[in-house]
Amino acid sequence: MNFARRTLIGIPYIWLLLLFLVPFGIIFKISLSDYAVSIPPYTPTLDLAQGWAGLRDFLSQLDFENYIWLSEDDLYWKAYLSSVKIACISTLLTLLVGFPVAYGMAKSAPEWRPMLMMLIILPFWTSFLIRVYAWIGILSNEGFLNQFLLWTGVISDPLQIMNTSTAVYIGIVYTYLPFMILPIYATLERLDGSLLEAAIDLGCSRTKAFWLVTVPLSRAGVIAGCFLVFIPALGEIVIPSLLGGSGTLMIGKVLWEEFFSNRDWPVASAVAIILLLLLVVPIMLFQRNQEKAQEAEG
Amino acid sequence: MKQFSWFNATALTLGFAFLYIPMIILVVFSFNDNRLVTVWAGFSTRWYVELFQDEAFLDAAWVTLRVAFSSSTIATVLGTMAAYVMVNGGKFFGRTLFSGMIYAPLVMPEVITGLSLLLLFIAIGLDRGVITIVLAHTTFAMCYVSVVVSSRLVNFDRSLEEAALDLGCTPFQAFKLVTLPLIAPAVISGWLLAFTLSLDDLVIASFTAGPSATTLPMKIWSSVRLGVSPKINALSTILILLVTIGVIAASITSKRSIARALRDEQMADQSA
Amino acid sequence: MTAAVEFAPWTDPTETPLIRFERVVKRFGDFTAIEPLNLSIYRKEFFALLGPSGCGKTTLMRMLAGFEAPSEGTITIGGRDMAGIPPNKREVNMMFQSYALFPHLSVWDNIAFGLKRGDMSKEEIAARVDDMLRLTRLDRFAKRKPHQISGGQKQRVALARALAKAPKLLLLDEPLGALDKKLRQDTQFELMDIQEKTETTFVIVTHDQEEAMTVASRVAVMDNGKIVQVDTPPKIYETPNSTYVADFIGDVNLLHGRAEIRADGLASLAWAEGATPIKGTAGEGLQGGEASFVIRPEKVTITASKPKDRTNVVKGKILDIAYLGNLSTYHVELPGGQVLKAQTANNRRLSRRDFTWEDEVYLSWTDTAGLVLAR
């Protein structure tokens, strides 16, 4: 019994320790190491064969040089700031698109709702890469959008959308829209219809009732949806790489290039650590929001 | 007070158009007889034929399926164990750390997960290939599985397990004969989720794959960076079709089971 | 069967109890769920643990089933110390409050579940399950799944499943709590019938005093992790050992005051300035001093004129009348502000009711009808 319990706890525990926590320590360690033209491309490496002397040697060579370097190079500052900006703006845009859809779903006839839910979830199961790819054909200079606008005569020269931050916004809104709609829909659907009737009965207009009753009561869903979009958008690589072109700076993309093109592992690791620090605050806020929402439900 | 509202209808129409038009264009133009994806030149299936003759794509697809199948299966076993420990495990040393390690990968950017695992594999001298991708995918997918399964376990009536023990089962028999059959739907959806996540993953696979193995998303990525290609449209169409069939099948099965539950309820009422 | 001999093994000193709790204590962290407790339950008893929620009755039962281990003390069943024996190795079965029927198995398979864990042959199992189905009148539903049958049928499946292994002891956790009142009353008699037929020892946990009184051979009234009184239902009702028990079981009137033991063995209670002290049977261990007088409403007679043959008479004004169909309860306010209840059987038509609101009436009772209990 006790042995069984230990195995049950032990196996997933050890797996996560080895493949999640230890790698994390390694990233941290390498971020404090120096770049070297070797394999692996950093020094020092910990040589346990040398015993204590090796360990002391190893520790004495670790420093915050990479972090200092990052803070001095304004490429990284710009990348961080522009990541935050892009993530914020696209979260807001996703909310603007997602809320009316979630509201429309919650107000639709009950027999339609499962069908609409399925239509929201379906894109989530299809490949992320393919959904981003679909926009290349639409947004490029000779793409469908420009073809359509030229045909209607709204514009006379093709618009440059591809490889701008506008394309990145569209890409993020498109891929993360279900994450925004589902939590908002969940809170709106549970909203008791008689609350609105009560507000109208007490003298509110329909619009006023919406702002005074529906919006405050859907707050938990809105906040959850915003975090679910903001957190992954901040570390996004694929969308800025495919739609944003070389002009769009995002921290995930910088890390990727630092690692694969420049092969500077210590700097890539330092970027990763800082990206994580950047995420800790929104993740903790998200956690608190979820806990509060759960408490409110009883 | 149910009224037809123009606002709601417009919001829904525009929202769903936004979600689906890009994919519809993708599918339609995969049958375009032109190397330029955006210019229509008549119906053709030539890109499908070319796709199925492309060894590199077929290899990548095979690698992806193997990785997805093995990682989702291991992740389901580990994730179910982890969920069981989280919900029913009681107190043990390092429980907070354990739950932290389960939830952290869900919000961790893929770049960081990928990079850290790569650094681990290099540090311990493990050759990169299919096995390292499987290890990486299992690690993050088990966390998703454990979240799906524990949400079912939380609502699971503990007294069912106690009843099994009371009637003479060992704890293992109680799990096998009572708990597992009842949480099976959640375990299956956990597996499906893990499978899809693995099929879909580009970033983590890119870090952990090494030169000897290429997955389908990696192959798509490298060819898409060079611009749109009709072959990728054909491949996308096949993937979209498979997912659509899967999701529709799943929803029909669940609708059937709802209908059955309704019938059963009536039966119970009549027999009372 | 010698029906003339009353079933009362607890009065026979040569009888060994089936279950024995010796100085059992149960703590959950800082919270003490069971205070040091001794209890003996005998073979073939139908024993009820009665108390409000949180009084420790369920913990006591879960310790018998093996889901909780006592923090101190020993529990023996059939002379065997139960410490360290897991639930699956105990000849004890339990009927769960939620029934805990396995939703993925049919009624038949639910009943056969425990039997399949032993080394019975297929034929023996089938025969035993069929016996159980017949005993609980479920023959027609054998192939149904739990969600295809009604609440009352579910309750019978749970009972059949727990009885199938012919346990030494059957534990019933609020077995009738989920049923509506009418069905509950029918099922109580059915439970007693099955208990008698199978000659199994039953321990039932309930918060419903009527249910405990109906089914049980003995009732243990619990409060805050302690057993307050263990006795047969009539004794619990007629001679409660504390105001807690008196108040918990049935309806009761309480008057507080100072008691004195009289030479004739009765006790008298001075309950109000200037009023004649009232007399009643002295409760267990009454020494005098602060005490309460308890009397059941049906033992209080209500009359329009002062009865001459009674010593315990008080005068009051009718405050409220509760008409319950077969009974009427009168709430009578005494000059000191206390309210006493008097109950009369309605064997006359309503239109000829004697009393109405604001009427001045006399309440009276015999010298032995009430109890004076130490506070």
The stretch C299-318 carries a mean pLDDT of 89
Both B104 and B87 in a single domain? Answer: yes
Both B152 and B237 in a single domain? Answer: no
Q: Residue C292 pairs with which residues in a beta bridge? A: C256, C373
Poorest-pLDDT segment among A255-264, C44-53, C67-76, C286-295: A255-264
- For residues C141, C144, C147, C152, the Cα torsion angle rounded to the nearest 10 degrees is 10
Share in percent of chain C as helix, strand, coil (round to 5): 25, 35, 40
Closest to C88 (Cβ–Cβ): which among B157, B168, B265? B168
Nearest chain B Cα to C98, which residue?
B159
Both C70 and C176 in a single domain? Answer: yes
Both C119 and C201 in a single domain? Answer: yes
Question: Is residue A53's pLDDT more than 70?
Answer: no
Percent of chain A clearing pLDDT 90 (strictly above): 25
Question: Is residue A20's pLDDT more than 50?
Answer: yes
Question: Is residue C333's pLDDT more than 60?
Answer: yes
Residue A226 burial (CB count, 10 A): 23
Residue A21 lies in a domain: no
Closest to B272 (Cβ–Cβ): which among C103, C145, C152? C152
Closest to B159 (Cβ–Cβ): which among C88, C100, C113? C100
Q: How far is B141 from chain C (nearest CA, A)?
A: 28
Poorest-pLDDT segment among A275-284, B77-86, C35-44, C204-213: A275-284
Q: What is the mean pLDDT of chain A?
A: 85
The stretch B210-215 carries a mean pLDDT of 86
Both C110 and C158 in a single domain? Answer: yes
pLDDT one-digit tens code per residue, C189-219: 989 999 999 999 999 999 999 899 999 999 9
Q: Which of C203, C238, C273 is the last residue of a domain?
A: C238
Range(s) of the domain holding residue A290 = 73-297
Percent of chain B clearing pLDDT 90 (strictly above): 50
Question: Is residue C93's pLDDT more than 60?
Answer: yes
pLDDT one-digit tens code per residue, B237-256: 999 999 889 888 887 887 78
Nearest residue to C323 via CA among C361, C296, C357: C357
Residue A3 lies in a domain: no
Number of domains in chain C: 2
* CATH assignment of the domain containing C263: 2.40.50.140
Residue B85 lies in a domain: yes
C-contacting chains (≥3 CB pairs under 8 Å): B
Q: What is the structure's pLDDT at A39? A: 61
pLDDT one-digit tens code per residue, C114-144: 999 988 999 999 999 999 999 999 999 999 9
pLDDT one-digit tens code per residue, C261-271: 888 878 889 88
Q: What is the structure's pLDDT at B1? A: 40
Question: Is residue C148's pLDDT more than 70?
Answer: yes
List the structure tokens of A225: 């949806």
Suggest the residue from B166, B176, B260 to mutate for an interface test with chain C (most C CBs closer than 10 A): B166
Q: What is the structure's pLDDT at C18? A: 94
Residue B142 lies in a domain: yes
Percent of chain C clearing pLDDT 70 (strictly above): 97
Q: Which chain B residues are Cβ-neighbours of C144 within 8 angstroms?
A: 267, 271
What does pTM read for this prediction?
Answer: 0.83
The stretch C149-161 carries a mean pLDDT of 92
pLDDT one-digit tens code per residue, B140-188: 999 999 999 999 998 888 899 999 999 999 988 999 999 999 999 899 9
Residue A211 lies in a domain: yes
Both C309 and C233 in a single domain? Answer: no
The stretch A230-249 carries a mean pLDDT of 88
Question: Is residue C55's pLDDT more than 60?
Answer: yes
Question: Is residue C8's pLDDT more than 80?
Answer: yes
- Structure confidence at residue A59 as a pLDDT band (50, 70, 90): low
Within chain C, where are the H helices? 57-65, 107-116, 122-135, 151-164, 181-198, 209-215, 233-238, 243-248
List b or e across C246-260, with b for residues whose CB sees 16 or more CB atoms inside 10 angstroms: bebbeebbebebebb
With left for phi above 0 and alpha for psi between -120 and 50, is residue C289 left, alpha or beta?
left
- Structure confidence at residue C3 as a pLDDT band (50, 70, 90): very low
Q: How far is B236 from chain A (nearest CA, A)?
A: 6
* CATH assignment of the domain containing C188: 3.40.50.300
Both C223 and C331 in a single domain? Answer: no
Share in percent of chain A as helix, strand, coil (round to 5): 80, 0, 20
Query: How far apart (Å, rounded) are the C-alpha atoms in residues C57 and C177?
Result: 15
Question: Is residue A236's pLDDT more than 50?
Answer: yes
- Structure confidence at residue C63 as a pLDDT band (50, 70, 90): very high
Both C145 and C167 in a single domain? Answer: yes
Both C228 and C259 in a single domain? Answer: no
Q: How far is B260 from chain C (nearest CA, A)?
A: 10
Both C87 and C227 in a single domain? Answer: yes
Poorest-pLDDT segment among A23-37, B15-29, C39-53, C294-308: A23-37
pLDDT one-digit tens code per residue, A97-138: 999 999 999 988 888 888 898 889 888 888 889 999 999 889
Range(s) of the domain holding residue C312 = 251-374
- Structure confidence at residue A155 as a pLDDT band (50, 70, 90): confident
Range(s) of the domain holding residue B258 = 228-272
Q: Please count the residue pairs, one from chain B and one from chain C, whose beta carbons lie less than 8 angstroms apart.
A: 80
Residue A78 lies in a domain: yes
Residue C246 lies in a domain: no
Both C268 and C212 in a single domain? Answer: no
Number of domains in chain A: 1
* CATH assignment of the domain containing A120: 1.10.3720.10
Q: How far is A72 from chain B (nearest CA, A)?
A: 23
Higher pLDDT, A59 or C127: C127
* CATH assignment of the domain containing B199: 1.10.3720.10
Q: What is the structure's pLDDT at C2? A: 42
List the structure tokens of B221: 């990525």
A285 touches chain B (CB under 8 A): no
Q: Which chain B residues are Cβ-neighbours of A174 within 8 angstroms?
A: 18-19, 22
Interchain CB distance below 8 Å, B19 and A279:
no
Q: How far is B107 from chain A (nearest CA, A)?
A: 7
- What ipTM did this prediction achieve? 0.87
- List, in order, residues 6 or more apart from C36 with CB less than 8 Å away: C23, C24, C25, C72, C73
Question: Is residue A256's pLDDT more than 90?
Answer: no
Question: Is residue C147's pLDDT more than 60?
Answer: yes
Number of domains in chain B: 2
Q: What is the structure's pLDDT at C103? A: 92
Most trustworthy range by pLDDT among A58-62, A122-126, B28-32, B64-68: B64-68
The stretch A83-89 carries a mean pLDDT of 93
Both C277 and C232 in a single domain? Answer: no
- Structure confidence at residue C36 as a pLDDT band (50, 70, 90): very high
Q: What is the structure's pLDDT at B261? A: 77
Q: What is the structure's pLDDT at B2? A: 47
Q: Cβ(B218)–Cβ(B209) under 8 Å?
A: yes
Interchain CB distance below 8 Å, C100 and B157:
yes
Both B88 and B197 in a single domain? Answer: yes
Closest to B168 (Cβ–Cβ): which among C104, C118, C148? C118
Give me the count of residues in chain B.
272
Both B197 and B67 in a single domain? Answer: yes
- List, in order, residues 6 or more apart from C182 with CB less than 8 Å away: none
Q: What is the structure's pLDDT at A37? A: 62
Both B203 and B258 in a single domain? Answer: no
Question: Is residue C14's pLDDT more than 50?
Answer: yes
Question: Is residue B91's pLDDT more than 90?
Answer: no
